Amino acid sequence: MLLLRTIMSTVAITIAANLGLCFCGCARAEYDINGECCPMCAPGNHVYWHCSIDTSTTCIPCPTSTYTDGPNGLLSCFPCTVCDAVHQLKVQKACTSSADTICEPQEGFHCIKLNKGSCTLAVEHSECKPGQYIKQTGTAFSDTVCVNCTYGTYSNGSLMACLPHSKCETMGLAEVKAGTMSSDAKCEKVTSVGLIVGVLIPVLVAVIVALSVCIRKYKARCCNERKN
C-alpha cells in the first residue's frame, strides 16, 4: 500500500511539473520579459516600453536607416546595410523600416557571396583572351564564359563568335601573312614588279639549267673528238 502511494505521488508530481512547463511559455506573438509575456511589436517597429499587468507593449516606428523585418520584442532596430562600393556593390532595393537594403553587383561584376538574397561581395567579369570568343556574357550572378577558336578562325577576345580567316586568293590578292587564332590573314595587292619577278625567276632558272646541260654536252663532245 505504501509503495502504491509513493508511485501515485511521483506520477502526480511529474504531471504537475509538465503542466507548469506547458503553461509557462509565451505565445508565438509574445516575448518574455522578466517572466511576463508581452505582445510583440509589428515589423518596422520596436519596443519603447515593455508591457505590465495593466498596460500592453508600447511600440514606436524604427528611426531612419534602421529596420525590423519581423514581429519582435527588441528595444532598438537593426541598422540598414550599406552597399559598399569597395566591394563593387550598388543598391538594388533601398532599405525600409520593415526590410533591409538589397545590394547587387555594379556593371561588369558578378556576385560571389549572398546573404538573404542580397549580394555582399562581387568580383569583375573575366575577359576573354585573344584566340577566344565570348560564349556567354557575364551576368549579375555568373562569370563570362570563354571558348577557344577552332582552326581557320580567329577572335581578338571581344567577339561573340570567331570569324573565318580571309581567303586572299578568292579576292585576287596575295597572302603576305597567315592568319592565327587571334588575327586575320594579311592580304596585299599583287604589284607589277611582283609579277615580273615571279615570271623572270622561273625563266632564268630554266635558262641556267639549259645552259648547264649544253655546256656539259659540248665539253663531252670535245673530249671525245680529241681522243679520236
C-alpha cell of residue 57: 507593449
Cβ burial, residue 8 (10 Å; 0-12/13-18/19+): exposed
Contacts 24+ apart (CB under 8 A), 141-150: 141/110, 141/111, 142/110, 143/110, 148/181, 149/181
- pLDDT greater than 60 at residue 16: no
Are residues 85 and 75 part of one domain?
no
Evaluate whether 125 touches 134 at the Cβ level (below 8 Å): no
- Asked if 30 and 47 touch (Cβ cutoff 8 Å), the reply is no
Domain that holds residue 48: 23-79
pLDDT of residue 224: 64
Residues 62 and 102 in one domain: no
Q: Same domain for 89 and 67?
A: no
Tens-place pLDDT, residues 162-215: 999 999 999 999 999 999 999 999 999 877 555 566 667 777 888 888 788 778
The yes-or-no verdict on residue 70 having pLDDT over 70 is: yes
Tell me if 15 is assigned to some domain. Answer: no
The answer on pLDDT for 23 being more than 80 is no
Provide, rounded to the nearest whole percent, the portion of the chain with pLDDT above 90. Answer: 70
What pLDDT was estimated at residue 160? 97
CA count, 13 A, side-chain hemisphere, 5: 2
pTM of the model: 0.62
Residues 73 and 33 in one domain: yes
C-alpha cell at 195: 609579277
The confidence score (pLDDT) of residue 217 equals 75
144 in the same domain as 109? no
The answer to whether position 16 is within a domain reads: no
pLDDT digits (tens, 9 = 90+) for 95-140: 999 999 999 999 999 999 999 999 999 999 999 999 999 999 999 9
Same domain as 120, residue 149:
no
Residue 170 is part of a domain; what is its CATH number?
2.10.50.10
Count structural domains, the chain: 3
